[in-house]
């Protein structure tokens, strides 16, 4: 349905999990059941961010924008929504980290790190890949998206 944009989203989600595992490894954190639950929540938010981006790009194309403008405007418009939802969730995660104990704190650590990696992978990494793929072309006829 999303064609190339879907492949880029899958790559961004994979990078998100890879970065999260790398950060947890660097911190020598033990992966517990609450940590796995936080990873699932992180993955869900990352999927939501990618869907938001892809839908915004499709909306711009339907509105008649040329493909390069649609990509740029789609990412720019999605950024505010993604930032808002992730900061709201980050505040809740920090509150759990500060006031929680034991398993709740373990959940909060993975969750906060996951939100940060999610924002990086969904917005910066996926946009970089799309720009790498489409950016070298002077004029695009159409995009590989639904």
- 19-75 pLDDT, tens per residue? 999 999 999 988 899 999 999 999 999 999 999 999 999 999 889 888 888 889 999
Q: What is the pLDDT at residue 80?
A: 92
Q: How far is CA 80 from CA 12, 30, 108, in A?
A: 19, 33, 24
pTM for this model (two decimals): 0.87
Q: How far is CA 29 from CA 8, 21, 107, 113, 115, in A?
A: 29, 10, 11, 12, 17
Q: What is the pLDDT at residue 97?
A: 94
Cα dihedral 26/127/93/28 (nearest 10): -10
CATH superfamily, with its number, for domain 4-134: Multidrug efflux transporter AcrB transmembrane domain (1.20.1640.10)
Q: How far apart are CA 4 and CA 15, in angstroms?
A: 17
Cβ pair 82, 119 in contact under 8 A? yes
DSSP 32-90: -HHHHHHHHHHHHHHHHHHHHHHHHHHHHHHTT--HHHHHHHHHHHHHHHHHHHHHHHH
- 117-138 pLDDT, tens per residue? 999 998 899 999 988 887 766 5
Enter the tokens of residue 58.
């499709």
Q: How far apart are CA 97 and CA 91, in angstroms?
A: 10
Q: Is the pLDDT of residue 6 over 70?
A: yes
Q: In which band, very low, low, confident or very high, does the pLDDT at 89 lie, cut at 50, 70 and 90? A: very high
Q: In which band, very low, low, confident or very high, does the pLDDT at 144 lie, cut at 50, 70 and 90? A: low
């Amino acid at each position: 349905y999303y064609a190339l944009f879907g492949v880029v989203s899958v790559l961004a989600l994979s990078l998100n999990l890879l970065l999260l595992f790398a950060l947890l490894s660097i911190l020598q954190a033990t992966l517990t059941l609450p940590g796995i639950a936080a990873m699932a929540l992180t993955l869900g938010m990352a999927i939501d961010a990618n869907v938001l981006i892809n839908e915004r790009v499709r909306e711009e194309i339907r509105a008649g924008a040329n493909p390069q403008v649609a990509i740029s405007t789609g990412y720019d418009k999605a950024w505010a929504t993604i930032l808002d939802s992730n900061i709201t969730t980050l505040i809740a995660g920090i509150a759990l980290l500060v006031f929680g104990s034991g398993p709740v704190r373990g959940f909060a650590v993975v969750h906060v790190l996951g939100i940060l990696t999610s924002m990086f992978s969904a917005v910066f990494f996926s946009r970089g890949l799309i720009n790498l793929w489409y950016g070298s072309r002077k004029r695009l006829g159409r995009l590989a998206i639904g």
